[in-house]
Amino acid sequence: MKFTIYQESRIGKRANNEDRIAHCYSRDALLMVVADGMGGHYYGEIAAQIAVQVLVESFQREAKPEIRDPFLFLQNALTRAHRSILDFTDTHKLKDSPRTTCVACVIQDNIAYWAHAGDSRLYLMRGGKVLARTRDHSRVQLLIEQSVINEAQAAVHPDRNKVYSSLGGREEPDIEFSRKTPLDAGDVLLLCTDGLWGVLSGEMMAVALKSENLMQAVPMLLNQAEIRGGSHADNLSAIAVRWEDSYVEEGGETTTTVSTQTMSPDTVTTRLDAFGRNPNYKTELTEDEIERAIEEIRSTIQKYSK
């Protein structure tokens, strides 16, 4: 596999960052995951952290170096994350279960497979245009589909942040899956939270990501989103990958390109920030509270590890 990848999460103008993002890859498979936590106190960020860690640790176990069945992997891992969050809720006797949106994508054999619950999005971009994107599990999306409101009205609708499917709620999540989607060299996949797509259109992001280096283009988009979000800018997070693998060998490899050809079959490279350890994930917790939260997350996840 050959690809260029960049990820970043920012707090925006919120008191805390409840977004979590990660990617990891073996010699023959790549996983990307984005989660946007919802819940009082610090529990939203814990729900998002649990979701991302469950996906990553599942990939680390099962990418040998390919995932046997990517759709089954996504279904099992997202369901396991949902149950892990519920277990955390029960253990702490919380009145309301913390929840998180989640979008995850596996790429192997030049084919992308993705699944999501909630309104964190995945865009597939080709030639500066949006080829496909996930459908939000939100009340506003339902109103758009019923022709009650249009896209412009949706952007300022008071219910725009209300989702009907998530990991961790008492209702079973409505997990939606993509089709098997072959990728061409040069395709860009963008996974992001609503802090980004809520203020920048998919078309605008596709144009920005068409020719620019991802290391420059993604921070530029995040800057624009923060400016447009103003004093109420939400947490905003993104993972973007430009797929550079192709059945036709191409030249001009850049220094930021990841090539997995020489990786050992039993090696997995992971980019996942530990809970409370990333300065971009500002938290009001003390060091002792962070340590307890890390231990609680770990013990919760271990119950559902195989």
Write down the pLDDT at residue 284: 76
Angle between helix 214-229 and helix 202-211 axes, rounded to 10 deg: 150
Rounded Cα distance between 133 and 151, Å, is: 15
Give the domain extent around 96. 2-302
pLDDT tens per residue across span 68-87: 999 999 999 999 999 999 99
Using an 8 Å Cβ cutoff, are 188 and 241 in contact?
Answer: yes
pLDDT tens, the chain, 306 aa long: 999 999 999 999 998 999 999 999 999 999 999 999 998 777 999 999 999 999 999 999 999 999 999 999 999 999 999 999 999 999 989 888 899 999 999 999 999 999 999 999 999 999 999 999 999 998 787 787 777 877 777 766 766 678 889 999 888 999 999 999 999 999 999 999 999 999 999 999 999 999 768 999 999 999 999 999 999 999 999 999 999 975 344 444 444 689 898 899 989 999 998 888 887 788 878 889 889 989 999 999 988 776
Given a contact cutoff of 8 angstroms between Cβ atoms, the answer to whether 191 and 122 are in contact is yes
Helices within the chain (DSSP H only): 43-62, 70-91, 139-145, 151-154, 194-197, 202-211, 214-229, 287-302
Q: What is the rounded distance in angstroms from the CA atom of residue 289 to the CA atom of residue 294?
A: 9
Q: If we measure between CA atoms, which residue out of 110, 134, 74, 122 comes closest to residue 182?
A: 110
The predicted structure's pLDDT at residue 253: 40
110: nearest Cα among 189, 222, 40, 175:
189
- Per-residue pLDDT of 221-269, as tens digits, reads 999 999 999 999 999 999 999 999 753 444 444 446 898 988 999 899 9
Count how many domains the chain has. 1
For residue 69, give the CATH number of its domain: 3.60.40.10
